[in-house]
Amino acid sequence: MPNTSQKAIHFGAGNIGRGFIGPLLVESGYHVIFADVNEEVIRQLNKQVSYDVLILDEDDEYRNSISDVSGVVSTSDDIIKSFADPELDIITTAVGPAILEKIAVTIAKGLHARREAKQGSLNIIACENMINQTTALRKHVFDHLSDDDKAWVEENVGFANCSVDRIVPPCDPKDSDRPLDVGVEGFYEWVVDQGALQRTPPRVHLKGVKLTTDLDAYIERKLFTLNCGHAISAYLGFLKGHTTTDQAVRDPEVRAVVYGALWEEAGAALIFKHKFDEGEYRQYVEKIMERFGNPRMKDEVTRVGRDPLRKLAKGDRLLGPTEMALVYGLPTDNLSKGIAAAFLFDYKEDKQAVDLQKRVEKEGIEKVVADITGFEQGSKEHGKILEAYKELRKKYKLKK
């Protein structure tokens, strides 16, 4: 039975916070304090004190009630007080990579308050789709600490990187009185760097968490497979006029590119680098294709493709596996098509998509591809992406 005297603060009461990390913390015995800038969500959390997570698999549906939760506005002084609470044991985040810098200011103030109150150690785990997200958060937090606070944090706070995998699209709650309910797939995987937690292990075993000493392999496997394939299906699906990623991956043309990228290119590279068992890795890819195809997720291509510049960053889900495949002399044709499609993600409600289109218009696609990918004009890889880009423009009759 959960012992609810222990507390967790989770920054970001959005899809992944309410649909994945929050519920696992509750099941592990924590009272979860959600911290968010969205005052309406916080008001509702404190009013309801519970919400439902709907598991929506293709062949199964059930509901888990999540209780023992509360909310605090992340910009208020109350959050700082919560840091000084002796029962606080763990802090997690799921706010988006760009927001880590903002919440770092609050976390630094909170850690200062905890030190002043002479309270004990704790762990911080950022759960963002980003390699070494907690290390990035730690750097931002340290920018706001005094030397004495830094020394205390070094001794008392574990900052653990992790890999988080569960598809949680925005939910359209059937019951308007329960706007916090969230729809998720049954599958989840939360893998945490054990070494970083050793100094200050969480007081309770985190349910559903896999602790590892080889986090890089898990992170690359997830980002270069799940997120890579999802992004390619979103960008190609968007061009073909599909609304959701399940529609996109059921389209044989899109499916062939996604599967080719995941198995023959990114997958083959990951197997080489991390010595994954080929049979197990193939099953991993099959399972991911099945998850993408779940029609009950209704995951919009515009959500999955959001922030194309972030997704086109070096080392992220598209260029990361491409560079890895090139190291092992593997093909990259399908990955190049996915990258080319990302350059064509002309979605007016996405700021990064708009900025990218403006850059292409002003500077020309040749230069922008070179600047963003790092593949020099005239190189084989640059040529491949450009050719795919031109073919896609022609195929979908896109105006100049």
Ligand X SMILES: NC(=O)C1=CN([C@@H]2O[C@H](COP(=O)(O)OP(=O)(O)OC[C@H]3O[C@@H](n4cnc5c(N)ncnc54)[C@H](O)[C@@H]3O)[C@@H](O)[C@H]2O)C=CC1
Ligand Y SMILES: O=P(O)(O)OC[C@H]1O[C@](O)(CO)[C@@H](O)[C@@H]1O
Q: How many CB atoms lie within 10 A of CB 216?
A: 15
CB 171, min distance to ligand Y, A: 13
Q: For ligand X, what does the binding mask look like between residues 92 and 131, x meaning CB under 6 A?
A: --xxxx-x--xx------------------------xx--
The smaller minimum CB distance to ligand X, of residues 104 and 370, is found at: 104
Report the distance separating Cα 99 and Cα 14, nearest Å. 13
CB 183, min distance to ligand Y, A: 13
- Binding residues for ligand Y, rule: CB under 6 A, are 129, 165, 167, 226-227, 230, 304, 306-307
CB 67, min distance to ligand Y, A: 25
* Closest of 158, 145, 157, 163 to residue 104, by C-alpha: 145
For tokens 């919560």, name the residue. 82
Report the distance separating Cα 18 and Cα 259, nearest Å. 31
Among 137, 157, 162, 168, binds ligand X (CB under 6 A): 168
Contact at 8 Å (CB) between 119 and 84?
yes
Report the distance separating Cα 318 and Cα 391, nearest Å. 19
Among 27, 37, 201, 296, binds ligand X (CB under 6 A): 37
Report the distance separating Cα 66 and Cα 86, nearest Å. 24
Q: How many CB atoms lie within 10 A of CB 151?
A: 12
Which one of the spans 6-14, 274-282, 283-291, 321-329 is the region binding ligand X (CB under 6 A)? 6-14
The smaller minimum CB distance to ligand X, of residues 142 and 188, is found at: 188
181 lines the binding site for ligand X (CB under 6 A): no
Q: Point out the residue whose Cβ comes nearest to ligand Y.
A: 230
CB 168, min distance to ligand X, A: 4
Q: What are phi and psi of 65, to 5 degrees?
A: -90, 130
Contact at 8 Å (CB) between 133 and 98?
no
CB 3, min distance to ligand Y, A: 31
Binding site for ligand X (CB under 6 A): 11-17, 35-38, 74, 94-97, 99, 102-103, 128-129, 164, 166-168
